[in-house]
Structure 1
């Protein structure tokens, strides 16, 4: 019997809750409120999992037989060609060479990437108090997972890749040079800690 009475009382109170309306807050009321803001991100993305769009995969692993729009990223001496991934090239000086992140591909997923603001008003050897501004805080993901990830880091005399073994007729450039410093294949999980602070510049 008691449960029926409570159930009936809850039903009678429901219309009163439904009729509730939003009321504006005065400045004095707002000043007593506090909150937190930010973004928490998780996701997965694939980079050139099946090869990039700039080059077709040739039928052989011999650079001398490739057409202008063909390239293989298989290791030297491999029996069959392999599609190539993303290429990023950065030139640090106007008349200098290029740093390249080449053949970047694979599946990358992360959990716990945060984005918010943080007030810097202390620390940094005393500079924080003088700075006294908000900065953008990028919290590193708790976990980053790699599946069939690969890349090569090297230096080159040009930003775009060219076929050194090819002739001018098929888009080659015998003067092209690239030296890979190291390459890596990554499968597994990396745990990360810390954050990156992005300071505004006037």
Structure 2
């Protein structure tokens, strides 16, 4: 299985001018560094929580539907990574000769209200099986809270802002401040 970013977010959850104001920087001499820190802080928050802040498109490649605990409900539902799920844009399987077959996402029920989002079979449906043993399934999906910073929950935005401040003072390898951990605690990714 692999997960690849296809289309990154068009913006960041916190604006450059907001970060300048937080850090009391009045000129633009640090803008390149601050822009890098904002992106790094967002990616760290997304990585630690397993979520997507702003709308972004991902491609998951799989050998099979089962195998990692995401096929559930007696094999009728498949959980997607990176909540919240906005849409499933394409489902493709591959034959042994690498011929692609595109499957209409409308043939499935797509649950964007649950977290994680799910792809579920309709009555008498089945998950299309690939004939290729490696990366025989591709699922292209869009996830995130929305297109603008206003769509992202406030605690996540504040955590990104505080993390930018900590990284500005201590570098990219700075540990996670306790206040950021507290803000992110409702969204921590739990694995068993």
What TM-score does the superposition give when structure 2 sets the normalisation length?
0.23
Structure with greater Cα Rg: 1
Between 1 and 2, higher relative CO (CA 8 Å, sep ≥ 6) is seen in 2
What TM-score does the superposition give when structure 1 sets the normalisation length?
0.23
Larger fraction in helix = 2
Larger fraction in strand = 1
